[in-house]
Structure 1
Amino acid sequence: MLMFFTGTLLGEVIKNMQSAVDSPTQPSPKMHLYSAHDTTLVSLLRVMEVYNNRTPVYSSSVLLELWKGEEKPYVKVLFKNQTDSDDLIIIHIPGCTDKCALEDFIKILQKNVVKDIHTECNPEQDKPSGINMSLVVLGSMVALLTIVVVALIVVHCRNRQTSQSYRPLSTMDDEYS
């Protein structure tokens, strides 16, 4: 489930980085900014397998930087926990150094990226067909109607039984009238 929550975001980041490397002559944005809540930051850190079980404070940020290396491009992952400080925490992706080669970054985290959310979730497969849904509705209505009829019969029988079993006692005056 976590993969679907933030795996799409990580996939978008990787796609943008790969696009910048594959087409260096094409104009592309120098920066992509995403605004998120603390829960999204936690999820992103988890999907990158670096979460330390501490809830980020208000205004925390995760920075994923793509750098041109001497040999090949690399990714730096940084965490800023406070706005009133210039301190950045370097985050090490498991299996990488603080300068993680882009190809290694992708290879390590690819398993957590959602390729196509629509295909993977496949909502059409989970939807009952029109006929099945009609049968469910019809069955529910028949069951409800049966319960109501049985309840009415029980109430009617109890009322009838009570009225038949109640007979006023005769008094001596009645016998002689």
Structure 2
Amino acid sequence: MASRGDRRRRLAVGDGRQPPGPYPLGAADRRLLAPAAEEKADWEATVEIVNRQIAGLDAAQVETLRADRQGWADLQRLSRPAHAELAALNAAPSPHELARRADRVDLIVGQCNHGTAPYGTSFDDVRQRVTRATRTEVHVLPGQGHMAHLQAPTELGHLLNGLATAR
């Protein structure tokens, strides 16, 4: 929630916004998605690539996701802009640079991911980077992991709305 015109800026970062691994994401990750996402419209492959190659989940974790038919269908639908989103993430300033521009940074992590790989450890890395630059608050979503936007969108929305209106 950083605004260019307002001196007092805030930034909210969810644990899924900075995928595990080096920042920025390597070009190899984007090349993996290009044939699946843009040429073949193979959303099954896109979801698998995002979860295995980018998120760092193992085969068993991906199979657990796949076992939830509705959840997997939702992930396929949501994966359609994955290639463009990765390109945008890499084109954006680094978390450290964004934090230097903000007066406050709110970090959001799901309780199930807090402190555990791959998302919790990535979250910790981002937290360490931005804490050096500005005032930072950590918000933990009870009972949630990386998929809070699918599993608890109302709770996540309430938290984001509260952060947007807080001074």
**Higher-RCO chain (CA-CA 8 Å, sequence separation at least 6):** 2
Q: Shorter-chain TM-score: what band? A: under 0.3
Higher-Rg member (1/2): 1
TM-score by length of 1: 0.21
